[in-house]
Amino acid sequence: MNKPTPAPSPLQDNLDKILETVPPDCVAPDKCRKIRDLICKQSDVLPTWLFVEAVEQVPVAISITDRQANILYVNHEFTQVTGYKAVDILGENESVLSDKCTPKIVYQRLWHEITSKRIWNGRLVNRHKSGRRYLADLIITPIIDDQGQISHFIGMHRDITQSYELEEKVKNQKTLIESVLNSSPIAMAVLDSDDQVILENQMYKTLVSDLKLREPAAFFLQTLRQEMGEQWEVLHGAHKSFAHREIRIDFGGSRAPRWFSCSGNWFFENDISAGAFFNAGKKEYLLLTLHDISLQRKQQEELHIQTLRALMAEEEQIQSLRETMLGVMHQIQQPVNQIQAALQLMQNKGDAQHEPVYALLRDIQQCGQTTLATLQNCMPGPKQTAIAPVNINKVLHEVIMLCTDKFLASGVIVDWQPTPVLPSLLGSEMQLRTLFKQLFDNAVAAMRRAGSDERILKIATHHENDLISVAIEDTGPGIPPHLRQKVFEPFYTTNGAAGYRTGVGLVMVKEIVNRHHGIISIDPEYRQGCRFIVSFPLNRNA
């Protein structure tokens, strides 16, 4: 069944009639004026008492004045806000409301605007009838008569003392928080869910120029995500904080490395956008703190280098003893092998006549074997070192520091070009240090031997596709193509003049690389000297 159409109200009926009389080409302001005039003419549609009641009951303090601001009318709310009843204030000037602490210039501007037939809106300090000060948010509108002249003013104001106090309290708290954050020696940044920095302290700003990074937070976040892997997602998902994650940045050249202890805290804030008014939502933020601990780490590193220097000296002595013993064993092994061959020959011939010589040779051969076994037993083995996450940049930087005296004495310039942040690989720090020291020593020796005018040792690190590689290049004579395999064989040396080396350095280097599942090669493309490339896979135990 169809619903009966409700009968139009007389008010609606009249309004429709009025609207019909407005010409369709009438522009907006003219249209409004036209409608107003028509309504005024038909006082039965909207009677005057309705306008008066509307003004009387509206919850805004309203006053109507003459052109000199002498009050002609006040509504009920005006009495509530100012404390003045109509009988107290009609005929008085609006200035009775003034607390006299509003600067003159404010009134001058106010009057300039309203006498220019424009609406003025601003804040004035008013005095309640009781003497209490309050802050008024006031709008003054000039009323224009038919001749286009100002006939009256309407003032509308609200007491905004409380909301102003609240606003100021928030501002003060913000200033306080900002000054506390800015005085902190720790860099802090608040990031939104799109990783955009929305708040940062002074210390964070200094990092921008200090680290020459456009957005340090983006750099640290990327590194932390890489270092923490799945753990990042787990913590983020559970909104658990992380603390004291150390990040080392190597800049290369003569710039010292920097260390930062990073912590993060996820927190929520109520969404204050208009859209969230009925659908309260929360926004997620991350407070990232970056504590520069470079000074402490530098001091620790200096102490560490001193210890390493002693350790490496000891290791070098042992290594040189090993090399000497290996050389001796190599020397003994040759005649022992020859005697063994001679014995084999004599045995094959079945020559009984030379049995005494045969017995003597057998004794010599046995004696040689015993000596070799004794030497082998006496040989100091490689030091057993713990397998732990190793930062290759750190190891290389330490070895550069350890070799600084040698570089200076040999006139070698070091060009250190690390990838700023490298992931750790599992390995033996001690062995890797020995490996790189051997390669540096070889490079320096080669450049000295060749008497190169320009002695540059360039050390660079790279990280790509779960592979860390180190390129060590010198400006020495290089290694000819036919010897590039041979140099990794035992007892092969191009360093004959130096005398004391026995050609086992690169054998040991290769051994260490193998133990770390890595690869070592000599770059055939490099022509200015020699370039060794050592690559290690990540996520493999040594």
Cβ partners under 8 Å of residue 237, min gap 6: none
- The nearest distance, CB 36 to ligand FAD, in angstroms, is 21
Candidate list 95, 151, 296, 404; residue touching ligand FAD; CB under 6 A: 95
Considering the complex, state which of residue 136 and residue 396 has its C-beta at the smaller distance from ligand FAD. Answer: 136
Spell 448-462 as b/e; 16+ CB within 10 A means b.
Answer: beeebeebbbbbbbe
Residue 358 CA to residue 365 CA, distance in Å, equals 10
DSSP 97-110: GB-S-S-HHHHHHH
- The nearest distance, CB 149 to ligand FAD, in angstroms, is 14
- The nearest distance, CB 40 to ligand FAD, in angstroms, is 23
* CB half-sphere exposure, 381, CA atoms < 13 A: 4
Q: Are 190 and 204 in contact (CB under 8 A)?
A: no
Considering the complex, state which of residue 72 and residue 170 has its C-beta at the smaller distance from ligand FAD. Answer: 72
Q: Are 428 and 542 in contact (CB under 8 A)?
A: yes
Q: Are 217 and 208 in contact (CB under 8 A)?
A: no
Residue 411 CA to residue 76 CA, distance in Å, equals 95
Give the 3-state secondary structure of residue 220: helix
Considering the complex, state which of residue 100 and residue 482 has its C-beta at the smaller distance from ligand FAD. Answer: 100
- The nearest distance, CB 73 to ligand FAD, in angstroms, is 11
- The nearest distance, CB 14 to ligand FAD, in angstroms, is 33
What residues form DSSP beta bridges with 287? 190, 265
Candidate list 45, 74, 124, 522; residue touching ligand FAD; CB under 6 A: 124
Segment contacting ligand FAD by CB under 6 A, of 26-34, 108-116, 237-245, 421-429: 108-116
Considering the complex, state which of residue 108 and residue 296 has its C-beta at the smaller distance from ligand FAD. Answer: 108
Considering the complex, state which of residue 152 and residue 448 has its C-beta at the smaller distance from ligand FAD. Answer: 152
Considering the complex, state which of residue 103 and residue 481 has its C-beta at the smaller distance from ligand FAD. Answer: 103
Taking CB under 6 A as the rule, does residue 115 contact ligand FAD? yes
Helix runs in 350-391, H state only = 355-378
Candidate list 42, 108, 151, 173; residue touching ligand FAD; CB under 6 A: 108
Q: Are 447 and 529 in contact (CB under 8 A)?
A: yes
- How would you list the strands of the sheet with 61-65, edge to edge? 71-74, 61-65, 150-159, 133-144, 120-127
- Which residue type sits at 410? S
Structure tokens at 484: 């590039």
List Cα–Cα distances, 445 to 411, 442, 498, 513, in angstroms: 12, 5, 9, 21
- The nearest distance, CB 155 to ligand FAD, in angstroms, is 3
Considering the complex, state which of residue 84 and residue 536 has its C-beta at the smaller distance from ligand FAD. Answer: 84
Which residues ranging from 346 to 385 are in contact with ligand FAD (CB under 6 A)?
none
Considering the complex, state which of residue 153 and residue 416 has its C-beta at the smaller distance from ligand FAD. Answer: 153
Residue 194 CA to residue 209 CA, distance in Å, equals 23
Candidate list 75, 77, 78, 126; residue touching ligand FAD; CB under 6 A: 126
Residue 413 CA to residue 408 CA, distance in Å, equals 8
Taking CB under 6 A as the rule, does residue 111 contact ligand FAD? yes
Taking CB under 6 A as the rule, does residue 136 contact ligand FAD? yes
Taking CB under 6 A as the rule, does residue 107 contact ligand FAD? yes
Considering the complex, state which of residue 93 and residue 263 has its C-beta at the smaller distance from ligand FAD. Answer: 93
What residues form DSSP beta bridges with 125? 135
- The nearest distance, CB 44 to ligand FAD, in angstroms, is 32
Taking CB under 6 A as the rule, does residue 260 contact ligand FAD? no
Residue 278 CA to residue 270 CA, distance in Å, equals 12
Considering the complex, state which of residue 108 and residue 172 has its C-beta at the smaller distance from ligand FAD. Answer: 108
Considering the complex, state which of residue 81 and residue 508 has its C-beta at the smaller distance from ligand FAD. Answer: 81
Cβ partners under 8 Å of residue 519, min gap 6: 513, 534, 535
Taking CB under 6 A as the rule, does residue 140 contact ligand FAD? yes
Candidate list 15, 74, 135, 138; residue touching ligand FAD; CB under 6 A: 138
Segment contacting ligand FAD by CB under 6 A, of 92-100, 235-243, 266-274, 311-319: 92-100
Binding footprint of ligand FAD, residue count (CB under 6 A): 23
- Which residue type sits at 81? V
Interface mask toward ligand FAD for 5-44; x: CB under 6 A: ----------------------------------------
Angle of helix 230-238 relative to helix 216-228, nearest 10 degrees, comes to 110
Interface mask toward ligand FAD for 42-81; x: CB under 6 A: ---------------------x-x--xx------------
Which residues ranging from 149 to 188 are in contact with ligand FAD (CB under 6 A)?
153, 155, 157
In the chain, what are the helix, strand and coil shares in percent, each to the nearest 5? 50, 25, 30
Considering the complex, state which of residue 18 and residue 106 has its C-beta at the smaller distance from ligand FAD. Answer: 106
Strands (DSSP E) contained in 55-196 are: 61-65, 71-74, 120-127, 133-144, 150-159, 187-191
Considering the complex, state which of residue 62 and residue 512 has its C-beta at the smaller distance from ligand FAD. Answer: 62
Spell 173-195 as b/e; 16+ CB within 10 A means b.
Answer: eeeeeeeebeeeeebbbbbeeee
Residues of the shown chain interacting with ligand FAD in the complex, contacts defined by CB under 6 A: 63, 65, 68-69, 93-95, 97-98, 100, 102, 107-108, 111, 115, 124, 126, 136, 138, 140, 153, 155, 157
